[in-house]
Amino acid sequence: TCSREFSFFHKEIKCELRTNEHQLAFFQTKLYHLKNEFINQNSEHHNLEQIKNYFAEAHQKNVDRRIKPDEFNTLADKLKQDIKQAIDKWLKKKEPGKQNRALSDYTQKRQSRIRELIKETIEETKKQQDPLQENSDKVEMDNTQDQSQIEEECID
């Protein structure tokens, strides 16, 4: 419900999202919208006002809380995760077949990226260990040469 109105609201509010409090209020409003909490009042104007009022209340609460930057990051990340989950849930209901394919494509791409990162890490580790291995081989060779020199001196 109220999707069109939320879209209008988002266009209007975009330039105001500079402060942490505004951003959090927007995330809260978006999540509220995605969970279908807004009531369709059968009037674009009333629906838009409802969204603006919710945003204003959320913003004021955030200002009153005096949110610190590290707390903002935590709250913003949590809200973003909740928003993503709400979108995924909506997509799953709307088109079950497409979502599963998209998810499996996403999962395959993600796993592929992870494998590449692991390979790169292993290669870097080997490169770092190779000079160490060469140094230890040199030390062993030097020790062997020293041992043979000592044996020669003892024999003489």
Q: How large is the average pLDDT for residues 88-102?
A: 67
Q: How large is the average pLDDT for residues 71-89?
A: 85
Q: What is the pLDDT of residue 28?
A: 85
This prediction's pTM: 0.51
Contact residues for 55 (Cβ-Cβ < 8 A; gap 6+): 9, 13, 25, 26, 28, 29
Q: What is the pLDDT of residue 36?
A: 73
The 8-class DSSP code of residue 2 comes to -
Q: Which value, to the nearest 10 degrees, does the dihedral of the CA atoms of residues 33, 20, 75, 106 take?
A: 70
Q: How large is the average pLDDT for residues 111-139?
A: 73
